[in-house]
Amino acid sequence: MKILNVDQIRALDEATIRHEPIAPINLMERAALAFVDWFVDRFPDTTSTKIFCGLGNNGGDGMAIARLLLERNYPIEVNVVRYAPRESDDCMHNHRRLKLVTENIRYIEFSRDIPAIRHNEVIIDAILGTGLSRPTEGIVKEVIGAINRAPATVVAVDIASGLYTDQANAPTDVIIEPDYTVTFQLPKLAFVLPKNGRYVGEWHTVDIRLYKRYIDLAPTPYYYTQPQEARLLLRKRERYSNKGTFGHALLLVGSHGKMGAAVLSARACLRSGVGLLTVQVPRCGYGIIQTSVPEAMCLPDGHQNVLTGSSEIEGPPPSEYSSIGIGPGIGKAPETLAMLKTLLPTLKKPIVVDADALNLLSENRELLSKLPKNSILTPHPKEFERLTKKWDDDYQKLELLREFVKTYNVVVVLKGAYSAIATPEGDIHFNSTGNPGLSTGGTGDVLTGILTALLAQGYDPVEAAVLGVFAHGLAGDRVAEERGPIGMIASDVIDALRWT
């Protein structure tokens, strides 16, 4: 699903009006109806609802929503925040229609006009939408502050008032902190940026049948992966396949004291459909892998405690494996860095790079250009910062991300809420699964195993990253549903993986 910018959203609105054709006021009615359908479903027996409307089209939506809810017998109190002398045409039209069904409209110009908000009330925020052009101030800012302080459930229409759709807010900006955001048709970029969590709440899109062809043709680097899109990437297994069909993966993982990471990545790799798996670990890890992951072959490194790339057992050179995953638990020993330096130039196929392998790369940036084309790097924000530099806000982070993947011709999975998968062309796919329970040791090792398995099976690296991150998050969601996010551990995520 595409994420469009404010100008494109406005143009999409106009394209729908022209093409369908539909009068703007009827499109607003459609939007209001879509919101009301969601609202009635979520709050079937609301006793007390207050709506706050602005004077632009977001306010117009709010006035139509108020009328439609009154028609459905919701005891709704209407408040209009009069921050400007004029309303937009469609807002004015809906204001008139609203006055025909209720006389009970409160106008807020000064602090004293702000109503008290009672416990357990539901607040609908329709003050400002995607037309926000400057920070909130004056009476708008005061009303937003009062709503945020109230012990009520808040639902934002389209986007929280005060939140920019696709540019950074200042830390001092006063913005609605909703429990829910019900947005029209497409998610907004602001929703998937970690710092905005409290200004978005749980968000839902409602379909208002905007012109599909415009959406299809609109250029954008930003996408949001929906379940049906991720599932389309999953390949069916042929009945007459054998283990050779699904590749032979090599994991270079583990060091003394960090063999758990090796075990987790190996188990996840096996649970993600790889045909054969070889795990190369320092000698100290040999018995651990052989007993805890019996399905894998184990190649003991020549070194007792860290990986050096040498081995006492004859094996094929790394370049002959279908895929390689490197990083979980490997540490940053000079011998391991030396291994990386020798290994990278010999490889042609994309590999998966995680954890300390990323840290070694950030301390030896000349190695970044030695990575095989289309390799997948899986940093969390701190690791990505080490690979690049500090950013001021999430938008700058996205720019750094796009620059990085284009410079080094790699795929980056920037982990976090809505993990961002950046392609070598500079597109970014935001993942839709996962929960805070996944922020625990070992879940990254699991992801490395999954991605290595998908590459071994011949998935294209971007598809592998989008599908793998989705499946990993979904497994985490299954665990959270069953036992809650707090007690989740990485092994649970492996057990909950489903490739259907």
Residues that bind ligand LZDS7PUF (CB under 6 A): 9, 12-13, 27-28, 31, 54, 56-61, 83, 88, 128-136, 140, 157-158, 184-185
Give the pair of three-digit tokens for residue 246.
């699904």
- Residue 419 marked as a ligand binder: yes
In the complex, what is the shortest distance from the CB of residue 110 to K ion, in angstroms, rounded to a whole number? 22
Measure the CA–CA gap between 291 and 91, rounded to whole angstroms: 69
- Pick the closer one to ligand LZDS7PUF by CB: 81 or 474: 81
Binding string, residues 86-125; x marks residues near K ion by CB under 5 A: ---------------------------------------x
- Pick the closer one to K ion by CB: 126 or 455: 126
- Pick the closer one to ligand LZDS7PUF by CB: 56 or 178: 56
- Pick the closer one to ligand LZDS7PUF by CB: 66 or 344: 66
Chain-centre distance for alpha carbon 281: 33
Burial of 438 (0-12, 13-18, 19+ CB in 10 A): buried
- Pick the closer one to ligand LZDS7PUF by CB: 140 or 147: 140
User: What residue 130 binds from K ion, ligand LZDS7PUF, none (CB within 5 to 8 A, per partner kind)?
Assistant: ligand LZDS7PUF
Residues 435-494 that bind K ion (CB under 5 A): none
Residue appearing with tokens 């057992």: 313
Burial of 444 (0-12, 13-18, 19+ CB in 10 A): buried
In the complex, what is the shortest distance from the CB of residue 135 to ligand LZDS7PUF, in angstroms, rounded to a whole number? 6
Rg (CA), the chain: 26
- Pick the closer one to K ion by CB: 164 or 223: 164
- Pick the closer one to ligand LZDS7PUF by CB: 204 or 380: 204
**Residue from 76, 114, 123, 157 in contact with K ion (CB under 5 A):** 157
- Pick the closer one to ligand LZDS7PUF by CB: 130 or 225: 130
In the complex, what is the shortest distance from the CB of residue 343 to ligand LZDS7PUF, in angstroms, rounded to a whole number? 50
User: What residue 56 binds from K ion, ligand LZDS7PUF, none (CB within 5 to 8 A, per partner kind)?
Assistant: ligand LZDS7PUF
Q: How many other C-beta atoms can be found within 10 angstroms of the C-beta atom of residue 115?
A: 15
User: What residue 125 binds from ligand LZDS7PUF, K ion, none (CB within 5 to 8 A, per partner kind)?
Assistant: K ion
- Pick the closer one to ligand LZDS7PUF by CB: 143 or 268: 143
In the complex, what is the shortest distance from the CB of residue 58 to K ion, in angstroms, rounded to a whole number? 5
In the complex, what is the shortest distance from the CB of residue 24 to ligand LZDS7PUF, in angstroms, rounded to a whole number? 8
Measure the CA–CA gap between 463 and 21, rounded to whole angstroms: 38
User: What residue 246 binds from ligand LZDS7PUF, K ion, none (CB within 5 to 8 A, per partner kind)?
Assistant: none
Give which of 47, 46, 113, 110 is closest to 79, Cα–Cα: 113
User: What residue 455 binds from ligand LZDS7PUF, K ion, none (CB within 5 to 8 A, per partner kind)?
Assistant: none
The reply to whether 206 sits near K ion by the rule CB under 5 A is no
Q: Of 154-162, 200-208, 428-436, 483-491, which part binds K ion (CB under 5 A)?
A: 154-162
- Residue 223 marked as a ligand binder: no
Residues 32-61 that bind K ion (CB under 5 A): 58
- Pick the closer one to K ion by CB: 39 or 211: 39
Angle between helices 24-42 and 89-101 (to 10 degrees): 50
In the complex, what is the shortest distance from the CB of residue 111 to ligand LZDS7PUF, in angstroms, rounded to a whole number? 16
Binding string, residues 159-178; x marks residues near K ion by CB under 5 A: --x-----------------
Burial of 170 (0-12, 13-18, 19+ CB in 10 A): exposed
Q: Binding site for K(+): what residues are annotated? A: 58, 125, 161
Binding site as annotated, residues for (6S)-NADPHX: 57-61, 129-135, 158, 261, 329, 380, 445
- Residues within the annotated binding site? 57-61, 125, 129-135, 158, 161, 261, 329, 380, 415-419, 444-445
Q: What residue ranges bind K ion (CB under 5 A)? A: 58, 125, 156-157, 161
